[in-house]
A and B are shown apart, each in its own frame.
Chain A
Amino acid sequence: GAGVSQTPSNKVTEKGKYVELRCDPISGHTALYWYRQSLGQGPEFLIYFQGTGAADDSGLPNDRFFAVRPEGSVSTLKIQRTERGDSAVYLCASSLGSGGYTQYFGPGTRLTVL
């Protein structure tokens, strides 16, 4: 079956612009996670959804970052007024539930802010 997909695979933008990154989880997975991975580092938690609601958004670095999952399936990570330090690979994962369930990762979106 289809895995987690993310679009776009690459995004190059200029400092100050707004970007949206999309994640399509595996069908039926109620939990969805966003992570950020900088070069040479392990992934860093940003936010996770259980259904439509953000169960934990403590990893969002500041109020320029926002994520939604209006129908409990597709999620969009939104970054306003992008900064060069936002450049990273943004990973999405989904699982059947939260906590001790296997997470299935998407291929990531590589964001480059010039």
Chain B
Amino acid sequence: KNEVEQSPQNLTAQEGEFITINCSYSVGISALHWLQQHPGGGIVSLFMLSSGKKKHGRLIATINIQEKHSSLHITASHPRDSAVYICASWIIQGAQKLVFGQGTRLTINP
């Protein structure tokens, strides 16, 4: 079992729909990152959070430390949101390192 699991692996939706991507982790973390990767492009950090909720534009990230779970929400989705979304946890048990989920490929159709 991976230390960081994302679901779904692939998600296709229509423009305007509310999107939720989930991330669960199995070990202790100090922070969780949500990253965005466009096809053929680099990775951009969207959020880093260790508790509660953060919002930036149409993007919202939440984390529940007790349940070891985080979600990324996109409101009023748009085709330009199409990308791979990756959650990554900064693991604090043993060697400190960033452990990535496998990514969720999001496609928003017009």
Q: Which A residues are within 8 Å of any B CB, using their own CB?
A: 33, 35, 41-45, 48, 55-56, 58-59, 91, 93, 98-108
Report the separation of the CA atoms of residues A33 and B97 in the bound assembly, to the nearest whole angstrom.
10
Q: Which residues of A contact B30 (CB under 8 A)?
A: 99-100
Looking at chain A's contact residues, the main secondary structure is loop
- State whether A105 touches B97 (Cβ < 8 A): no
- State whether B42 touches A106 (Cβ < 8 A): yes
**Known contacts A105-B43, A105-B44; is-contact A100 B50 (Cβ 8 Å):** yes
- State whether B42 touches A99 (Cβ < 8 A): no
Q: Which residues of A contact B41 (CB under 8 A)?
A: 107
Q: How many A-B residue pairs have CB under 8 A?
A: 58
- State whether A33 touches B98 (Cβ < 8 A): yes
**Known contacts A99-B90, A105-B42, A108-B42; is-contact A45 B97 (Cβ 8 Å):** yes
- State whether B102 touches A42 (Cβ < 8 A): yes
- Which residue of chain B has its CB nearest to the CB of A106? B42
User: What range describes how many residues of B lie at the interface?
Assistant: 20 to 34
Q: Which B residues are within 8 Å of any A CB, using their own CB?
A: 30-31, 33, 35, 41-45, 48, 50, 86, 88, 90, 95-103
Looking at chain B's contact residues, the main secondary structure is strand
Residue A99 contacts which of B95, B96, B100, B101 (CB distance < 8 angstroms)? B96
Q: Which residues of A contact B31 (CB under 8 A)?
A: 99-100
- State whether B45 touches A102 (Cβ < 8 A): yes
Q: Which residues of A contact B50 (CB under 8 A)?
A: 100
- State whether A44 touches B95 (Cβ < 8 A): no
- State whether B100 touches A42 (Cβ < 8 A): yes
Report the separation of the CA atoms of residues A106 and B43 in the bound assembly, to the nearest whole angstrom.
7
- Which residue of chain B has its CB nearest to the CB of A93? B43
- State whether B97 touches A103 (Cβ < 8 A): no
- State whether B42 touches A103 (Cβ < 8 A): no
Report the separation of the CA atoms of residues A56 and B94 in the bound assembly, to the nearest whole angstrom.
11
The distance from the CB of A14 to the nearest CB of chain B, in whole angstroms, is 25
